[in-house]
Structure 1
């Protein structure tokens, strides 16, 4: 018997199409697959439910939601033999898209039923794991504003972008040092990626790979508003390297230090995360998560 546990975020994707046991049963074989559905009720509940499923000897644990839900579930499975399944039900679905897991529910469930697994790299930022990307600067502020909005849609994302853009000059000046280099004053973006998508098919690091053993780093120095608009266009066409104020490189580890503050505002897999430390250490754990993917 193959024990498959589904951890479902009921409000992902506006909560319009809840996953039911009856629907799941039509894709799996009675007597072969034992199915369990667990529904989250609050933030971080997916972590608790996943830990319980591990104790209950689940063979596969499926995250049904967006990148935040996937992060909570996957974090518990690092270094184990339990496979992570994904049913993308969020708004951005960056990691699922990078793994070629379709948003079409039937096709996503077929991938879980087929049980083809691969191992992917995992990022670590001060002890917290990320699977897609993490960053400071504009994208962290953008996610903070997006989370405070009631619109978890592309329109809401664009609205949050406009608010972040408007408030840039109000932000406290920051000087950030990167691995001992001369500090950057108010860098626009410092993004560290494990995957090549951020959600909504957008990408700042289109050459990043989940299986190459390297993190892709994008640094954009302080830029004016016109350059910000130009950068927005370059993101849409995946040509960020055309911006002369940008720099990209690959590494296994990077450190950031902020002199003016005792904390960092970051985004981790598309969720705002305040880290109460003025020093960030970001590294990679190679092939440490087993994920079900299409062949």
Structure 2
């Protein structure tokens, strides 16, 4: 009986040793944007420290100064299995190429002002920890626009103008975004001519809002592109036909409305496209204002990244 007890004990110790060894081998580098979403990250840091063994994680804070290159160096030095980005779409956008370059798996803690990619994939502040531990690896398309990456949404006109004001006034959260929309209302409905060339064919439009979509929803939860997928090798161009007060506040910027009226958009599905304008228009990518532009070269890079999802 004593021999059996000792044998079972040895088996259990060996089993736990193998389990712990496996867990320790999964190293996580947490990349935290301390100012994203206007949210204090102290509680998040405490959660990470409580939930992960000391030698299985490292925390690295962004500073806003050459972060992509610094992250490359940090990944090379620490050699994590998973790089976990705590921030919004803009933070992920800035860091994703550094993660891809080192062929690391990507995790998300949605703690930004705009968390559109996480919202689309069902990653929340309630389930991010479970997703890191038990989630599955999902391929993620990256769209390159004038050699700048896009993971979620980019647009010309209406929304980009609001993002510009939002950043100039240093607002955070959905309420700040709504205030920006109200202030910009007098000048928001300015149509611009645009030519879209795709697969050797060109088409002309007049619009005040043109979306380049790699996904379905904006960070507010509004579904602008029902057919979108982050891994289908295609992006959608959603061109608004007519701008009305109802389309602005009743649909696009209404946090309680998650379904778009597709009659107000014309949608083109593409693998690559050239967008040309006769005048420069405000442009944003993943919630970050880029500037004014009159030319965009858009190219799909199919299933370039690996992302943990619930």
Please report how far the alpha carbon of residue 286 of structure 1 lies from its aligned counterpart in structure 2 after TM superposition: 0.9
Q: 2:81 aligns with which of 50, 53, 59?
A: 59
Take 1:21 and 1:242, find their aligned partners in 2: how far apart are those partners?
A: 45
Matched, 1:279 2:298: no
Within 5 Å, give how 1:244-283 maps onto structure 2: 246-261=265-280, 265-274=282-291, 278-283=294-299
Aligned counterpart, 1:176: 194
TM-score by length of 1: 0.85
Please report how far the alpha carbon of residue 58 of structure 1 lies from its aligned counterpart in structure 2 after TM superposition: 2.0
Aligned counterpart, 2:15: none
Take 2:157 and 2:114, find their aligned partners in 1: how far apart are those partners?
A: 20
Take 1:55 and 1:231, find their aligned partners in 2: how far apart are those partners?
A: 45
Q: Name stretches of at least 5 consecutive residues in structure 2 with no aligned partner.
A: 1-24
Take 1:192 and 1:238, find their aligned partners in 2: how far apart are those partners?
A: 18
Are the aligned partners of 2:274 and 2:297 in contact in 1 as well (CA < 8 Å)? Answer: yes
Are the aligned partners of 1:198 and 1:270 in contact in 2 as well (CA < 8 Å)? Answer: no
Worse overlay, 145-154 or 192-201: 145-154
> Secondary structure, in 3 states, of the residue corresponding to 1:207?
coil
Are the aligned partners of 1:133 and 1:268 in contact in 2 as well (CA < 8 Å)? Answer: yes
Please report how far the alpha carbon of residue 192 of structure 1 lies from its aligned counterpart in structure 2 after TM superposition: 1.0
Aligned counterpart, 1:240: 261
Larger Rg: 2
Aligned counterpart, 1:48: 69
Within 5 Å, give how 1:63-82 maps onto structure 2: 63-78=85-100, 80-82=102-104
Please report how far the alpha carbon of residue 197 of structure 1 lies from its aligned counterpart in structure 2 after TM superposition: 1.4
Aligned counterpart, 2:180: 160
Output one character per residue of 1:192-218: Cα deviation in whole Å (capped at 9) or x when no partner: 100111102122113211122211221
Matched, 1:23 2:47: yes
TM-score by length of 2: 0.81
Aligned counterpart, 1:209: 229
Q: Which has the higher helix share?
A: 2
Superposed CA RMSD in Å reads: 2.3
Are the aligned partners of 1:7 and 1:49 in contact in 2 as well (CA < 8 Å)? Answer: no
Output one character per residue of 1:103-140: Cα deviation in whole Å (capped at 9) or x when no partner: 22xx2122113363111111110101111011111111
Are the aligned partners of 1:4 and 1:61 in contact in 2 as well (CA < 8 Å)? Answer: yes
Are the aligned partners of 2:75 and 2:102 in contact in 1 as well (CA < 8 Å)? Answer: no
Take 1:208 and 1:127, find their aligned partners in 2: how far apart are those partners?
A: 22
Moved over 3 A (4+): 19-22, 180-185
Please report how far the alpha carbon of residue 92 of structure 1 lies from its aligned counterpart in structure 2 after TM superposition: 2.3
Matched, 1:147 2:167: yes
Please report how far the alpha carbon of residue 54 of structure 1 lies from its aligned counterpart in structure 2 after TM superposition: 2.5
Take 1:272 and 1:21, find their aligned partners in 2: how far apart are those partners?
A: 29
Relative distance call for 1:232 and 1:121 in structure 2 (3 A) is: same
